[in-house]
Chain A
Amino acid sequence: MSFLEYAPAPESTAILNLRETYGLFIDGEFVDGRGEPFATISPATEKRIAEVATANAADVDRAVAAARRAYDRTWSTMSGADRGKYLFRIARLIQERSRELAVAESLDNGKPIKETRDVDIPLVAAWFFYYAGWADKLEYAGLGANPRALGVAAQVIPWNFPLLMLAWKIAPALAAGNTVVLKPAETTPLTALLFAEICQQADLPAGVVNIITGAGETGRALVSHDDVDKVAFTGSTPVGREIARAAAGTGKKLTLELGGKGANIVFEDAAMDQAVEGIVSGIFFNQGHVCCAGSRLLVQENVHDEVVDRLKTRLSTLRLGDPLDKNTDIGAINSREQLDRIRALSDIGEQEGGDRWTAACEIPSSGYWFAPTIFTNVSTSHRIARDEIFGPVLSVLTFRTPEEAVAKANNTPYGLSAGIWTEKASRMLALADRLRVGVVWANTFNKFDPASPFGGYKESGYGREGGRHGLAAYLEASGWQPPAASAGASTRSVRGRSAQKTRKAVSK
């Protein structure tokens, strides 16, 4: 046993009290879905965890109707203070059940327990705490006196941070006074269904939160539903485009948090130990399943070899394996489909001339795994420098001048995140000004906080989540008037429907 080998220390799953099958959470109760149920599996073992319902179009209707009823009768008439108290309750219940949620998340998603335990779930609780306090202070949100909720929000979230993305969506929506119908990703529905139980424990009024499960078809029916006032989506840019098309002309308020190809820029004067840690957490945190991952390392040419050597040394110490083991650094890839994509793009990286290096580590016999991988000798035209891989694959490029670093960093249709590593603050600030991204991490990376707005430029989407900006995404100023297109959108009650009626083929 070398000093890097540890005895296994798996977190017990005894804390879980899962059901065999899960229905849809509509109007405060679990009900059967009318679509074909599906199994959610653990990507680390490929073993089935539970059977989950699929919501068909009729179920989506039912969920939206429940949310509308709850909005009209309960949630929109409740005081902000009381809405806030419900959110505080939820935050506390999440803290109380945090270990259980962490285990469930690691089991269903494949991410290491030390990340779910120390990052995901604490942030979920923090998100509800943060927005709970906003619920009775909306007049300070920057939209003038008496800002109004939008109504029913349709929310579709990805599989990379299942419960955290739920919190990013539900906490601000409820604080602002909206009701929601949320669809978790089909590979990671488990914690959203546990969250439904938490809503019951908190005595949240029925219909305020509805959770429906299913695949893309369910999501499509939800975001294009006529009685939805707001659509919030986190996921891939192609799906984001499809949603933007479907929402065109409907007056639905839309926020999209989409893909990225973040540049992590390392200058020669950077504090190297910290920079190497930052590069590692930038791309290998959560198996690289992070939209804001620092997937392009831009390193100043004269320190390239040193940085790459140090990276290889560091990556060789990462432990890949059982997500529930407390020593694990790299967990399982979330699905077979995603693993195939990572493999395909990595192969293309080799074919196009990149030099591939993979950390030596033992790959478990079952489950979906991909060892940390670095490509050097990558040029800006390579697919692995342009496409979002969404896996533990780092593409290394070089630059000589700050000008070149900016040009290369911005040379992408995405604009979500970037990192800057330098000890020179004036250079960092000048660079931060010129990077066309929504989040800049200077001498750090992949930090998230409910008080800090997050979201992209360009094709990484629009709107912000977190902070006051994230709240504003679920509000409208009380002076707000629907756009007076000659199509005739007019009163609030028909908002989002009149324009669509005049034109049937809106969502192509």
Chain B
Amino acid sequence: MSRLAVPKTYKLAIGGKFPRSESGRTYAVASPSGRFLANAALASRKDARDAVVAARAAQPGWAGATAYNRGQVLYRIAELLEGRRAQFVDEIVQSEGVTAAVAGAQTDAAIDLWVWYAGWADKYAQVAGNGNPVSGPYFNLSVPDPTGVVAAIAPQERTGVSLLGFAAVVAPVVLSGNTTVVVANEAAPLSAISLAEVLATSDVPGGVVNTLTGSPAELAPWLASHADVNALDLAGAGSIGDGTAWIDLQISAAETLKRVLPPVSGAPAPSLERITAFVETKTVWHTKAML
């Protein structure tokens, strides 16, 4: 006699908690063949704003952690993902309609991506910073500093990115001390929410990664125009509307001079550029005494 399964309720992840949408809305998530998988929360404008508030509140503390600590936390994410590999493979198989082998490869790539970025946490500043030989008796050092709150649209392709694309957007943003509000893959959001559960048990402080499920077309304009968002990663925004709607987001972001990364196809490849796209360079001058 087979046991009756206990299905999971997929909710949002905001400020270290897992609330339903304040709007009470949900949408049905289905496999590519149309089989019902789950009801996901359909995040609203208010949810997006709440997520920005949570991200802002968490930012100074996260940036204030040591780089070594942030690297360890990121590595811990990889460890926990590895331990829950089977669950992620299963979710990808279900929601992307791919084989277990293909889903396994995506999961492995996501785990390895966290490991790769984890290692950058206490090194990127040495590559992106400088001691500057100025003409005068000054100590002068340029160091990178996180931009602040970064809103991101995760890659939206139907296959290959539901977990990897989300991780590839989030990891380079948070490793330097930014916090983020991410709109997950709309059609296949389950892995992103399961990943949020991993983050919540990996010593990632609440509010560092806030995950919204729902419609990028609905949510992105509010994030792009939000005055307390410092930067925008439009990785998956190329899929909104006719494919040029992201330009409106960039125009909207100009109002507060947000830093903007344009859309890419698929999961963005791991790169130092994705880290440095969301850091500022701070240069500190200090006088030296005349001896």
Q: Which of B20-28, B91-99, B125-133, B199-207 binds A?
A: B125-133
Instruction: Say yes or no: B127 contacts A142, CB within 8 Å.
Output: yes
* B36: Cβ under 8 A from any A Cβ: no
User: Nearest-CB distance from B213 to chain A (Å)?
Assistant: 22
Q: Which residues of B contact A458 (CB under 8 A)?
A: 230, 256-257
Tell me, in angstroms, the Cα distance from A457 to B144 when the chains sit together: 11
User: Nearest-CB distance from A464 to chain B (Å)?
Assistant: 5
Instruction: Say yes or no: A444 contacts B284, CB within 8 Å.
Output: no
* B281: Cβ under 8 A from any A Cβ: yes
Tell me, in angstroms, the Cα distance from A240 to B23 when the chains sit together: 37
Q: Which of A73-81, A242-250, A316-324, A391-399 binds B?
A: A242-250
* A378: Cβ under 8 A from any B Cβ: no
**B 188-225 to A, binary, CB cutoff 8 A, 1 in contact else 0:** 00000000000000000000000000000000000000
User: Nearest-CB distance from B130 to chain A (Å)?
Assistant: 6
Tell me, in angstroms, the Cα distance from A464 to B284 when the chains sit together: 14
Instruction: Say yes or no: A464 contacts B286, CB within 8 Å.
Output: no
Instruction: Say yes or no: A499 contacts B247, CB within 8 Å.
Output: yes
Instruction: Say yes or no: B244 contacts A503, CB within 8 Å.
Output: yes
Closest A-B pairs by Cβ, 4 of them: A249-B247, A486-B243, A244-B254, A248-B250
Tell me, in angstroms, the Cα distance from A503 to B244 when the chains sit together: 7
User: Nearest-CB distance from B243 to chain A (Å)?
Assistant: 3
Q: Which residues of B contact A461 (CB under 8 A)?
A: 257
Instruction: Say yes or no: A453 contacts B247, CB within 8 Å.
Output: no
* Known interface pairs A437-B282, A442-B284, A499-B244; 14 further A-B residue pairs with C-beta atoms within 8 A, sorted by A's residue number: A126-B135, A245-B251, A256-B257, A432-B284, A438-B282, A439-B284, A440-B285, A447-B136, A449-B136, A453-B130, A457-B147, A469-B130, A487-B244, A506-B247
Knowing A442-B286, A469-B281, A484-B264, the reply to whether A459 touches B256 (Cβ < 8 A) is yes
User: Nearest-CB distance from A443 to chain B (Å)?
Assistant: 5
User: Nearest-CB distance from A142 to chain B (Å)?
Assistant: 7
* B39: Cβ under 8 A from any A Cβ: no
* B69: Cβ under 8 A from any A Cβ: no
* B138: Cβ under 8 A from any A Cβ: yes
* B117: Cβ under 8 A from any A Cβ: no
Instruction: Say yes or no: B238 contacts A447, CB within 8 Å.
Output: no
Residue of A nearest to B273 (CB): A477
Tell me, in angstroms, the Cα distance from A119 to B149 when the chains sit together: 38
Q: Which residues of B contact A249 (CB under 8 A)?
A: 244, 246-247, 250-251
User: What is the interface of chain B mostly: helix, strand, loop, or mixed?
Assistant: mixed
Interface residues on chain A, number (Cβ under 8 Å): 57
Knowing A483-B264, A499-B244, the reply to whether A245 touches B282 (Cβ < 8 A) is no
User: Nearest-CB distance from B231 to chain A (Å)?
Assistant: 9
Tell me, in angstroms, the Cα distance from A31 to B263 when the chains sit together: 42
Instruction: Say yes or no: A441 contacts B262, CB within 8 Å.
Output: no
* A455: Cβ under 8 A from any B Cβ: yes
* B265: Cβ under 8 A from any A Cβ: yes
* A454: Cβ under 8 A from any B Cβ: yes
Interface band, chain B: 35 or more
Q: Which residues of A contact B238 (CB under 8 A)?
A: 484-487
Give residues of chain B (131-172) contacting chain A, Cβ–Cβ below 8 Å. Answer: 132-136, 138, 140, 142, 145, 147-148
Tell me, in angstroms, the Cα distance from A454 to B286 when the chains sit together: 15
User: Nearest-CB distance from A272 to chain B (Å)?
Assistant: 15
Q: Which residues of A contact B280 (CB under 8 A)?
A: 415, 438, 457
Instruction: Say yes or no: A428 contacts B283, CB within 8 Å.
Output: no
**B 250-281 to A, binary, CB cutoff 8 A, 1 in contact else 0:** 11011111011011110000000100000011
Q: List 13 A-B contacts (CB under 8 A).
A: A241-B255, A248-B254, A439-B285, A447-B285, A449-B136, A453-B281, A458-B230, A460-B257, A469-B142, A484-B264, A485-B243, A486-B265, A487-B244
Residue of A nearest to B235 (CB): A483
Tell me, in angstroms, the Cα distance from A459 to B230 when the chains sit together: 9
Q: Which residues of A contact B282 (CB under 8 A)?
A: 432, 435, 437-440, 457
* A413: Cβ under 8 A from any B Cβ: yes
Tell me, in angstroms, the Cα distance from A498 to B219 when the chains sit together: 26
* A30: Cβ under 8 A from any B Cβ: no
Knowing A451-B134, A462-B259, the reply to whether A438 touches B285 (Cβ < 8 A) is no
Tell me, in angstroms, the Cα distance from A395 to B35 when the chains sit together: 65
Tell me, in angstroms, the Cα distance from A507 to B260 when the chains sit together: 17
* B2: Cβ under 8 A from any A Cβ: no
Residue of B nearest to A440 (CB): B284
* B178: Cβ under 8 A from any A Cβ: no
User: Nearest-CB distance from A181 to chain B (Å)?
Assistant: 22
Knowing A440-B285, A452-B283, the reply to whether A485 touches B262 (Cβ < 8 A) is yes
